[in-house]
Amino acid sequence: MESIVFASNNSHKLDEVREKLKSFFEINSLKDISCFDDIPETADTFEGNAEQKANWVLEKYNYDCFADDSGIEIEALDGRPGVFSARYAGENCTYEDNNLKVMKELEGEANRNAKFVTVICLKLNGKTKFFRGEVKGKIISEFRGGEGFGYDPIFRPYGYDKTYAEMGIEEKNKFSHRAVALSKMISYLSNKN
Ligand code: IMP
């Protein structure tokens, strides 16, 4: 079976990706190719950051690969935290710090619309392709649920009465922003030949 690098060491993402791509590729992580670099993510778009990571692996290690970049965009905050989602409350901040910062910024704000975004950049056989997944919802005004990570406890997707953090990982992975982007990549891979 062909192998490809997924430019990540996040074990949750690797499990999900390995399961969903098992009929296409054997997936190698960054660790598997002995890449321990702190890969720069300095672009101001999800596409730019995903491509930066994918290019790093392709250019320095010479492997076909794909990379993802995700975050949450909040309408009333002009799209922030966006590409700064991981470190929104500052270097070394916790998920809770980020959530508290968002809550504070939205105090008294009626517009709670937000969306999670994932962009995957695939570099395969000399071609570059992008796949975008989005899930729209609202930022609620309290923390709810103990599953997941990041902004999950304050994000309630449209059509659900639970936050991402109140869903089990299985339910979330069926429709999450990452799952949507991944499904688009799978459709592309299925129709490519
Ligand atoms: P990454 O690009 O997937 O590493 O995501 C960057 C940041 O976006 C994470 O550190 C989280 O703060 C946030 N984020 C991305 N995906 C999710 C999610 O599914 N739930 C909650 N937060 C997320």
Q: Which residues line ligand 1 (CB under 6 A)?
A: 68-71, 85-86, 148-152, 164, 176
Cα of 117 vs centre of ligand 1, distance in Å, is 9
For the segment 42-51, the average pLDDT, to the nearest whole number, is 98
CA atoms within 13 A on the CB side of 72: 29
Q: Is the pLDDT of residue 100 over 70?
A: yes
- Domain residue ranges of the chain, discontinuous segments joined by +: 3-192
What is the pLDDT confidence band of residue 16, given thresholds at 50, 70 and 90?
confident
Question: For the residues 100-107, what does the mean pLDDT come to?
Answer: 98
Using alpha carbons, select from 112, 143, 132 the residue that is nearest to residue 51. 132
Summarize the confidence of residues 126-147 as an average pLDDT.
Answer: 97
Residue nearest ligand 1's atom 22 by CA: 150
State the pLDDT at residue 1: 86
Q: Copy the structure tokens of residue 25.
A: 């590729």
Is-contact 124 55, C-beta < 8 A? no
Q: What is the pLDDT of residues 56-96, one digit of tens each?
A: 999 999 999 999 999 999 999 999 999 999 999 999 999 99
Return the DSSP state at 138.
E
The span from the CA of 192 to the CA of 18, in Å, is 19
Spacing, Cα 1 to ligand 1 middle (Å): 30
Is the full-model pTM beyond 0.85? yes
For 3-192, which CATH class? alpha beta
For residue 193, the model assigns a pLDDT of: 63
Distance in angstroms (rounded) separating the CA atoms of residues 133 and 174:
12
pLDDT beyond 90 at 168: no
Residue among 47, 85, 100, 180 to mutate when testing ligand 1 (max atoms within 8 A of CB) = 85
For the chain, the average pLDDT equals: 95
Give the pLDDT mean for 30-58: 97
User: Taking the CB of residue 42, how many other CB atoms lie within 10 A of it?
Assistant: 8
Query: What percent of the chain is predicted at pLDDT more than 90?
Result: 89
CA dihedral 94, 162, 15, 41 (to 10 degrees): -40
